[in-house]
Amino acid sequence: MSTTSDRAREVAPPFRDPSSLDAAARPHRLALARALVGAEELPVALPRFGLRLDDVQVDGAALCLELSAGAPVARVRLSPRRRELAPPSSEAPEIGIEVRPGGERHAAALEAIRARLARAITPARWEAARPHFDALRALPLDVPMAYFRQLVSGVGGREGLVRTGFACNQDCGMCWQSRAWSGPGAAQILTWVEDLRRAGATRLILSGGEPTLDAALPEYVARARALGFAAVTLETNAVQLAKPEHAARLAAAGLTDAFVSLHAADAAISDAITRARGTHARTLAGVDALLDAGVTVTLNAVMTAEGLLRLDELPALVHARFGGREGLRGLMVSLPTDPFDGALRDRVLPDPAIVREVLPRTIERALSLGVPVLGLDGPCGPPLCAFGADPRVARLEPLGEALEFRVHPPACDRCAVRSACFGVRREQLARFGDACTAPLAARPR
């Protein structure tokens, strides 16, 4: 998945978003209510239980019946017993009940509903309902549209971004996305690609989740190039690209650039960060395949707390594995966003004092090996004081606009490079406070 959740200066083009997701979802909600509980409308009273069925919703892999009695009472979760589609009629769903605050006094009714559903939802009945469940899941009802498509005005002109979905073959703790968020579907993705080109974007970023999991990815790339995008960049972990011909197929479709997540030199540390065993080696092989196919590659290391102390090993790996290869742009180093799973913040958000110790050493090693270091002065990079505002890797030019997700705490007012610095990420400031900043007394040369 991409770690670049936020981009500078988003502008608003005329996107043709799904006209009305609720309208599209309504027939499937009704069909499910009819198939599972015999209801002909929604909401519908359940007088025998003294409750009302308000709605049928999807939450991750579960189908949910929302029950109320004046106020929300409970959510009945019907979960397929396997993540993948089971053979027809093989299994009925598991039934669980999440009781809402105050819903405990309906415990007897809820237990009666559970027993009734367990009898009524036979494997065959469940299987007959599955097409509507799958159709409902495929609608991106739970994801803000801005997460899917953006048009930003960058230094080199207008740039578009489309996320193909949020499924991923890794599960990085730092990720700001939920893996349960649904995707928009190929037709909608192609519509947004057209919208972005019509709005004047000349570069397109295809991101995710992990976009290489979408079988239609070569089609998106080819369509974008046919529409006139001068460049198409893939944000990826490159794991899939280790497979024969994958990278070459994308290059043949017109892929020009790849932005590849590579967070550590050590395979065990990397696999712990991505929570996907064995993927470090495949990412390296995927980068090889991209370079072999003539795609320009930028590597991106996110400084998470769990990998930070050994970040300075990464330049040597990049040099040994890819040094001198045509097409390697360099190593970008960025800070994580606030993780979707807030319980992981300790593992993810790096201590600014340790960043200020490790990052300059990492930069020094990279430059001594001829590995360009990128992005440190950009929206996703750390504050400039994290690396002494080293002018070899930062432009130190006045910035045009502030970023909503970065702020300047009061200490910045006495900093010599304030005008060139985007400031501190809000989640870092909330966690580490004053320790986030180390104002510079003089502008470095």
Q: In what order do the strands lie in the sheet with 149-154?
A: 10-11, 149-154, 157-163, 203-207, 231-236, 257-261, 296-302, 328-334, 373-374
Which 375-404 residues touch ligand SF4, going by CB under 6 A?
383-385
Give percent helix, percent strand, percent coil of the chain, each to the nearest 5.
Answer: 40, 20, 40
Angle, helix 314-322 to helix 279-292, in steps of 10 degrees: 40
d(CA 388, CA 168): 36
Token pair for 162: 């489309």
CB of 220 or CB of 422, closer to ligand SF4: 422
Q: Output the smallest distance, CB 430 to ligand SF4, in A.
A: 15
Part of the chain binding ligand SF4 (CB under 6 A), chosen from 67-75, 185-193, 229-237, 433-441: 433-441
- Provide the minimum distance between the beta carbon of 182 and ligand SF4 in the complex, in angstroms, as a whole number: 37
- The three-class DSSP label of residue 246 is helix
The smaller minimum CB distance to ligand SF4, of residues 297 and 384, is found at 384
User: Binding ligand SF4 by CB under 6 A: which of 415, 425, 427, 428?
Assistant: 415
Among 97, 174, 424, 429, binds ligand SF4 (CB under 6 A): 424
3-class secondary structure, 153: strand
Interface segment toward ligand SF4; rule CB under 6 A; list 191-199, 293-301, 370-378, 409-417: 409-417
Based on the shown chain and the rule CB under 6 A, indicate whether residue 359 belongs to the binding site for ligand SF4: no
- Tokens at 367, concatenated: 């430059």
Contact 62, 88 (CB under 8 A): no
Q: How far is the CB of 445 from ligand SF4 (least distance, A)?
A: 16
Least distance (Å) from ligand SF4 to the CB of residue 376?
11
**38 and 32 Cβ atoms separated by less than 8 Å:** no
Beta bridge partners of 333: 301
Both tokens of 394, joined, read 């930062």
Paired sense of beta strands 44-46 and 51-59, if any: antiparallel
Among 421, 425, 427, 429, interactor with ligand SF4 by CB under 6 A = 421
Residues 297-326 that bind ligand SF4 (CB under 6 A): none
Nearer to ligand SF4, 51 or 384 (CB): 384
428 binds ligand SF4 (CB under 6 A): no
Least spacing, CB of residue 191 vs ligand SF4, in Å: 40
**Strands laid side by side in the 94-99 sheet:** 44-46, 51-59, 62-68, 72-79, 94-99
* Comparison of 287 and 389: residue with beta carbon closer to ligand SF4: 389
Q: Which of 349, 423, 428, 429 binds ligand SF4 (CB under 6 A)?
A: 423
Of 377, 412, 425, 427, the residue at the interface with ligand SF4 (CB under 6 A) is: 412
State the minimum distance, in angstroms, from the CB of residue 360 to ligand SF4: 13
Per CB under 6 A, the list member of 114, 116, 408, 426 interacting with ligand SF4 is: 408
What is 78-132 written as a DSSP string? EE-SSSSPPPTTS-PPEEEEEEPTTGGGGHHHHHHHHHHHHHH--HHHHHHHHHH
Residues 204, 284, 417, 429: which binds ligand SF4 (CB under 6 A)? Answer: 417
Stretch that binds ligand SF4, among 49-57, 169-177, 286-294, 408-416 (CB under 6 A): 408-416
Binding residues vs ligand SF4 (CB under 6 A): 383-385, 408, 411-412, 415, 417-418, 421, 423-424, 437, 439-440
